[in-house]
Amino acid sequence: MRWMLAGLLTIVAAPAAAQDREYCPERPGLGTPACTISPGRVSVETALGDWTRDEDADQRSDTVLLGDTLMRIGLTDTIEAQIGFTPFGHVRTRDKLAGDIDSADRVGDAMLGFKANLKNPDGKGLSVAVHPFVTVPVGRSPVGAGDWGAGLVVPVTYDLSDALNFETTSEIDAAVDEDGRGRHVAFSETVGLGLALSKALTATAELQALRDDDPSGATTQMLAGVSLACVLGENLQIDAGANAGLNRDAPDMEVYLGVSRRF
């Protein structure tokens, strides 16, 4: 175990040098880019604030996440390790009929996984990757899922021109049941277009369909999202975005603000 830890630290501490490439955070947006982090580099990508509203005739639910973070560690030219964690979540639910209000402050779950790029790890041209992951139930409901889960993400991106990029992200999950016991199948497809407005600023528009076959009741969510990402220098990006539900099963609205930093 000691030699394995020493080897990992050596990889992380190694200079990026010739293998280094343009910074490519996973934030923002509904989809996932196919690019990977250069070996020896670390990317820390954090949602400074994320608010979701879900309302129907009976109740309204507001969820606020603070500090939701993904850390990506470049291991080889095409493989990166990933660790995700939600340190704080606040959920407030109001019953419109009775007037009762319930609120909870919780820690979220952790995610462990890796992404392996199969073509063009810098994300240029046609880029393809696979990203298997597991979720570890370190948090509690309603922010944490209550049990372990797993999934596989397959992102594909293609440069239509110097300024226009097409993206698609396919995902299938062993998602945790709503009651926190057991798992079921959930899958989604996300498509989007990214437009470079300038060398530093990129706008992205996306559509997502998500099918969740939870035993308590299957749902199909349709979402639309827009986001802006601004690169400041070679190793820093700030972003903002919003997602809107297009049908009854989807949350009404989500807005977020984040920052990504490469070390």
Checking if the pLDDT of 110 tops 90, the result is yes
Checking if the pLDDT of 98 tops 90, the result is no
Task: Grade residue 51 by pLDDT with cuts at 50, 70 and 90.
Answer: very high
Task: Grade residue 89 by pLDDT with cuts at 50, 70 and 90.
Answer: very high
- Phi, psi dihedrals of residue 12, rounded to the nearest 5°: -65, -35
Where in the chain are the domains? 2-262
Checking if the pLDDT of 162 tops 70, the result is yes
Residues of the chain with pLDDT > 70, as a percent, come to 93
What's the pLDDT at 11? 41
Tens of pLDDT, residues 52-61? 999 988 899 9
| Helix/strand/coil for 11 | helix
> Which CATH code, of 2.40.160.40, 3.50.50.60, 1.10.287.1260, 3.30.70.600, is assigned to 2-262?
2.40.160.40
User: Residues 223, 243: contact at Cβ < 8 Å?
Assistant: yes
What's the pLDDT at 99? 83
On whether the pTM is more than 0.85, the answer is yes
Tell me how far apart the alpha carbons of residues 128 and 130 are, in angstroms, rounded to a whole number: 7
